[in-house]
Copies of this chain bind each other. A is one copy, B any other.
Amino acid sequence: MNMLDPRNIKIAYIGGGSRGWAWKLMRDLARETDICGTVALYDIDRKAAQDNAAIGNYIAADHEGVSPWRYEAADTLEAALTGAHFIVISILPGTFEEMASDVHAPEAYGVYQSVGDTTGPGGYVRALRTIPMFETIACAVRDYAPEAWVINYTNPMAMCVGTLYRVFPGIKAFGCCHEVFGTQELLCRMTEEMLGVTDVTRGDIKVNVLGVNHFTWLDKASYKGVDLMPLYRQYAEKYVHSGSPTDDPEKRKTDVFSSGNQVKFDLFLRTGYIAAAGDRHLAEFCPADWYMKFPEMAEGWGFHLTPVSWRKNDLVKRLAQSRTYLEHRAPEGVMPLGETGEEGVKQIKAIMGMGDLVTNVNLPNVGQIPNLPLGTIVETNACFTSDSVRPVMAGPLPAEVLELSARPAQNQTDMVTAVLRRSHEEAFAVFSRDRLLGALSQEDKRALFDRMVAATKAYLPRDWDKTL
């Protein structure tokens, strides 16, 4: 990386028509006046990218004193990536139609999923269409921007990052996820309640992070030198049945993302370690009969299954918001700035040499977790500094956590292999080993897989298993 002019950097955004992450990035970039430049938005939905370019370009005009980033829609991946210093990937693989099949098709077999984008039958079938897209992206990075840093937000996180490294081993990529931040927030509230202190912030909670994305764990947590692990045990025992008082009880009933952290507490009591992701994600990695044998069981554990219909409705709202932004009439038509809680821009600055940072990201295992296979995509803390992201030695997964994590970690690695080889049978073998399907017969697993693959067929690569 040559000496970067911090006023003239280029960010390529793949999935640049996004109405979630892309808007967050715009807001975070606007607030960082030390750096400026161009964001090239690339999206297979070209109109969405153009709309977002327009929305992005309004920001500097609408807000005083912000960093005047320029937004432009790029026609091709090549155009977006050429000259880029950073590449952000945040795509929806397929549409919510395919996702509806991922999430709900297994219900016919008594298998429920709370998210369906990471692991479980939904996560693995989503991987079938996502991995080939990331092959394309990895090749493009190799050809047009081999020195650029790549930040992925897309799920299934581990398999996306894994694909990037398998296809282009020289890539400088990492995956970001804010689920650990949420657990740190829970620890803030717990610390306030248990120690009688106030105004605890995420930065005060020091943690060691280890695991695979969305099934990440903390084996050490402290606040000003106080070991939080024994406190968390008390807290977990206190609230495992009723849910933590961190969310408004009314909100917990209606907000599909809300939970009382009861799954987290139960996992602590089972293992002695803090599971560090939302309960909806955690539950999908466990045997079905722990938390989700039937939908009411999830409700009993204080969390919700996210129906894809909710996502479709939410998209309608986002599209409306997009139109409002494009009409650009204050106040609703002006994007408000403010904390997003994301760290992407801080990471970019750290990589530019503008302030070191230690935070949790997803990277290939080079030994930071010695008892997961090398090459597994793992989530741990990493040091960000100039042109460099290096994992911190997180240490081995405790045995009680390893016995839960070994299988999904292996499955994710194996699914990348299977799809890169275009092997329907190998992909099925991984699918059939998923723990949520533990109660199904081999025949039912086969029938379910075939049905789910059929539903996502339009997004499979052309050379998908020719023996089919």
Contact = CB atoms under 8 A, between A and B. Distances in A.
A373 B373 contact: no
A379 to B, nearest CB: 14
B387 A225 contact: yes
A391 B223 CA distance: 21
A403 B407 contact: yes
Contacts of A409: 399
A396 interface: yes
A206 interface: yes
A220 B354 CA distance: 17
A400 B430 CA distance: 12
A30 interface: no
Contact of A224 (B227, B353, B403): B353
Contacts of A391: 392-393
Contact of A383 (B352, B392, B398): B392
A385 B206 contact: yes
Given A3-B225, A208-B388, A390-B392, A402 B400 contact: no
A154 interface: no
Interface in A341-373: 352-354, 356, 358, 366-368, 370-373
Given A225-B3, A366-B370, A356 B353 contact: no
Given A353-B225, A393-B366, A388 B1 contact: no
Given A370-B373, A391-B393, A392-B392, 12 more contacts: A2-B227, A3-B224, A204-B353, A206-B385, A206-B387, A208-B388, A224-B386, A371-B373, A373-B396, A400-B407, A400-B433, A403-B406
28 contacts: A1-B225, A1-B227, A2-B225, A3-B225, A206-B387, A206-B388, A220-B388, A222-B386, A223-B386, A225-B353, A225-B386, A358-B383, A366-B370, A366-B393, A366-B395, A367-B367, A374-B374, A383-B383, A390-B392, A391-B392, A392-B392, A399-B406, A399-B411, A400-B407, A402-B402, A402-B406, A402-B407, A406-B406
